[in-house]
Every structure is written in structure tokens, then in C-alpha cells.
Structure 1
Amino acid sequence: MPPYTITYFPVRGRCEAMRMLLADQSQSWKEEVVTMETWMKGSLKASCLYGQLPKFQDGDLTLYQSNAILRHLGRSLGLYGKDQQEAALLDVVNDGVEDLRCKYALLIYTNYEAGKEEYVKALPGYLKPFEKLLSQNEGGQAFIVGNQISFADYNLLDLLLIHQVLAPSCLDSFPLLSAYVACLSARPKLKAFLSSPEHGKLGGYLTSFLPDQ
């Protein structure tokens, strides 16, 4: 049996970053797919700690909250920086990703038609901090922090990919972020996952985003 189990809806959403991490790190996992019909029945929801998904199992350990799951995988698989300083910086990055992800979710679920133009106009300001972080780390020739990939890199990559669907030219004025996305997406195992039939069965980036729920 795979050591990990992801229980979630049949979409990319909040589990995409952890799936990319696991695939890129040659880790196997099982998907327990939850339909909206099953979810609305309420028994699974009632059994979840906060009444929301995703649910993640690592052997006997059951976790909730997507960012907590990412951090757990970061610690378990050596993807949390080389020392405490890098770990702290990765927390800063990951919290920044979460802030923008929440802005994105608010747009998609509450104000997409009326708010898209204003959101896209403000997007360069939201992306600028990540470009700055890259520039401060080996001139943008490495990862977001340090010289090895981290859990925060997968989360940031997912965030940038969904925004490229929303606004395809959003990274045109950010050369470091553009190169970062291209470089990470070309990692052999990650590229294979992103182009796999299993991944293709999951919902598209715009329509599949779900908050922990």
C-alpha cells in the first residue's frame, strides 16, 4: 500500500501542490476521491476535524489543512531548507503564497465576472514580492530559498500556474518568475506528472480551485 492517502474532491485545488511534491520526490500515494454528492450527505464532513477537506494520511497520522500537510511533507522528505534560517524564510514564502491564494479564491468564488479586470490589474503588485525573493537568492538562478527545492517551491509553482491560466501574460514583466516556472515545470518527474492522464482527469485550474472545505 502507498504510504500516503489524499482524500479530496476530483479536482486539483488545494491538493495540487502536495501531489506535485510527491510525484517529483518519487513518492507514491492513493487518492480517495470524494464526490459532491457524497460530501453533501454529511457523514464524511462530520468526521473531519474541521469539517473540511483535504484529509491526508501518512500511515497512522491523519492531518488536515493543506499548508500543514505541505509543511509535514517538507519536514519528512527533507524539503524544509538546510537550517533554521532557511526554514523561517520558507515559512515567509508559504504564508505569502497563502495570502495570494486566498485573494484568488475570493475572486473565483464571489466576484469573477465583475472583479477579474481589477484583480488582473493589481496582480503585478501581488507577484512583485516573489520576484524580489528570487532576485535575492543567487540572482534568481536557484529556488525560492536556498539551493535545493522545498515544499514552498511546489506551492508557489502551483500558484503561478493557476494565475497563468487566469491571465496568460501575467509573468511577462517578471523574468525571474517566468524562468522559475519553466525550470521547475521541466523537472523530469514533475513534467511527467503534469502531463499524465491521471492529472488530466482532474478539473481545470480555474474551475477546480476549492478552499479547504
Structure 2
Amino acid sequence: MATKPKLHYPNGRGRMESVRWVLAAAGVEVAVSSLSQQRAWDASRWPQWRTELDHLGNHLLFQQVPMVEIDGMKLVQTRSILHYIADKHHLFGKDLKERTLIDMYVEGTLDLLELLIMHPFLKPDDQQKEVANMAQKAIIRYFPVFEKVLRGHGQRFLVGNQLSLADIILLQTILALEEKIPNILSAFPHLQEYTVKISNIPTIKKFLEPGSKKKPPPDDIYVRTVYNIFMP
């Protein structure tokens, strides 16, 4: 029996959430580190976390998480992790052309997703301004690209008419934005239809149900926990 991939990251979305999405879409069960299991900061567990962080530090090439233990390797750097999992599970296109298109769409989407990842760590006044900034960038710069792609080829998916890493990251980003801006897709009918279809793929639908490994929106507890773990 194959060993489950083990995810090392605080118990929240951050940059690991994309990895959870891709593994879930591929139907892969995961294990998590003790660092990932704790919902809130617990000072009594700091010695255990410190030991785990010290152990991880021996394997973190750039002293950063996320780290994923998979297939006998300890992978770091989010994009490298995503590429490996996507390629392994046939979510990265059938040839060089498709892989390049997928990678291009993913890179663009991750630029937008990064704004969402950093949003909880801003000051309250800056958070409100950043929501407006994210909405503007999504509506003017990013969503028109994908609306045009879907309208142009008339297919269910972004590339090759099969589920890929590009679809997974785009859906993750759309749903996260809709949590903050419910009508964000109002001007994009093809993306609206696309979001419904991709959300109903069985493995993704399961991931979106309560009780899955999908993490809730970041809150003050998550932000404090991250600060306490990594900036004691």
C-alpha cells in the first residue's frame, strides 16, 4: 500500500491549499503533520512544534514551508510541488504545448491567488482597500482572459478538454474570491457555467463538502497561530 503524501504546514489555507486542491482532485488521500492538525495556538504544544520545525528545517531547502513528503521525496516550493503532483496524476496536459498553456494559465491565476493569501495579514483598513483592488484586478485583468478562452473553444475545460491543474487553481481562486465578493462573476457567463461544472466533478465535489481537508477562510486565530509559530 502506497504511503499517503504528508503535508507540513499550519492548519489553514495559505500556499498549501492549492496542493490540497490538486491532491483532492486526483483522489489522493493525505496525511498531515502535527503542525497541521492544531486549529488554534496552544502554548503547551510549543515544545512539540519546535521539535517538528527543527526537524523540518533540515529538509527545507529555502527554510520555507509548504513541504510535502511524497514518493520518498521531501518537496518544497509550491509551484514545484503542484507540477509534480499534476504530472503524476495526468493533470498537466498530454504534450509540451498543452503543458505550456496550463503553466501559463496557472502562473497568472497564482498571481491573483497570492493577493488572497496575503490578505488576512494586512491591517484592517488595508484589508478593505485590498478587497477592492482584488475585485478590480480579477474583473479587468484576469477573468476576461479565461472568459475569452472558454468562449473561444467552447469546451468544458481550459486546455485539451480534460481536467488540468489550470482548472483546479482557477476554481480555487474563483471560489475564494466569491467568499469576499459574491457577485464577482456577474459579467462572465462562461465562467459562471464553468465554475458549476468543475465544482461538480466527483472528486472536487467531495472536497467541497463539509468534513473534507479543505480549509475554512483564514480568521484571526489562524493569523495569530502563524505569527506564533514562525515569528516567536
With normalisation by structure 2, the TM-score equals 0.78
How has the CA–CA distance of structure 1 residues 113 and 121 changed in structure 2, closer, same or farther, with 3 Å as cutoff? same
The AA in structure 2 aligned to 1:203 is: P
1:154 alignment partner in structure 2 = 168
- Aligned amino acid, residue 82 of structure 2: L
Runs of 4+ more than 4 Å apart: 39-42, 205-210
1:82 aligns with 2:123: no
Tell me what 2:189 maps to: 175
Q: Displacement of 1:194 after TM fit? A: 1.5
**Contact 1:8–1:33 (CA<8 Å) still a contact in 2?**
no
Aligned length: 208
Q: Report the equivalent of 1:197.
A: 211
Residue identity in the other structure for 1:56: V
1:67-110 deviation per Cα after TM superposition (whole angstroms, max 9, x unaligned): 21111011111111111111110110011012112233454433
Larger radius of gyration: 2
Aligned partner letter, 2:116: Y
- Alignment partner of 1:123 out of 128, 138, 154: 138
Which residue number in structure 1 is paired with residue 201 of structure 2?
A: 187
Deviation at 1:205, TM superposition (A): 5.5
Residue deviations 1:122-177 (CA, integer Å, cap 9, x gap)? 430132222222223x32x3211111111221111111111111111001111111
How far off is 1:19 after superposition?
Answer: 2.0
Deviation at 1:115, TM superposition (A): 3.2
Moved more, 12-21 or 81-90: 12-21
Residues 1:43 and 2:54 are matched in the alignment: yes
Contact 2:93/2:102, CA 8 A, preserved across alignment: yes
Whole-angstrom distance in 1 between the partners of 2:5 and 2:137: 38
The gaps in structure 2 that reach 5 residues or longer are: none
Matched, 1:135 2:147: no
Residue matched to 2:108: 96
Q: Which moved more, 1:187-196 or 1:90-99?
A: 187-196
- Larger mean CA deviation between 4-13 and 91-100 belongs to 4-13
Q: Aligned partner of 2:95: which letter?
A: D
Distance 1:40 1:79 in 2: 36
Q: 1:49 offset after TM fit, Å?
A: 1.7
2:91–2:165 contact (8 Å) kept in structure 1? yes
Name the Cα RMSD after superposition.
Answer: 2.7
Specify the SS of the correspondent of 2:15: helix
The alpha-carbon deviation at position 114 of structure 1 amounts to 3.4
Identity %: 25
How does 1:47-66 map onto structure 2 within 5 Å? 47=58, 48-66=60-78
